[in-house]
Amino acid sequence: MATFSMATGEQPLWRQFVFGDEELPDPDYPIDHVPESERKGLTSISAVLLGFVFFAGTLWAGADVGAAMGFGPMLAAMTVK
């Protein structure tokens, strides 16, 4: 199996596939403010937040239904689907 060579700077194909180009700077700005040119618009952020609202509500309702049933009836309800 090929290994990373610091002398030549070559990466094995699997490492490049998994981690991408490791020479690029961090795109997430973990300790800095995001520059104006890189900020997302209100529409895309709203879509993410709205999706979270529906996802969280569905999980909460499913947890309540699952907690109200025993294990056997819950499995039966899942298989009937």
Structural contact between residues 15 and 23, judged by C-beta atoms closer than 8 angstroms: no
Token pair 């609202």 in the structure block, residue: 53
Domain boundaries, the chain: 13-80
Token pair 């993410």 in the structure block, residue: 48
Token pair 């819950």 in the structure block, residue: 74
Q: Band the pLDDT of 46: cuts 50, 70, 90.
A: very high
Query: Does the pLDDT of residue 62 top 90, yes or no?
Result: no
Structural contact between residues 9 and 20, judged by C-beta atoms closer than 8 angstroms: no
The H or E element containing residue 47 is helix 42-68
Average pLDDT on 11-16 reads 79
Q: Give residue 30's Cα distance to chain centre.
A: 17
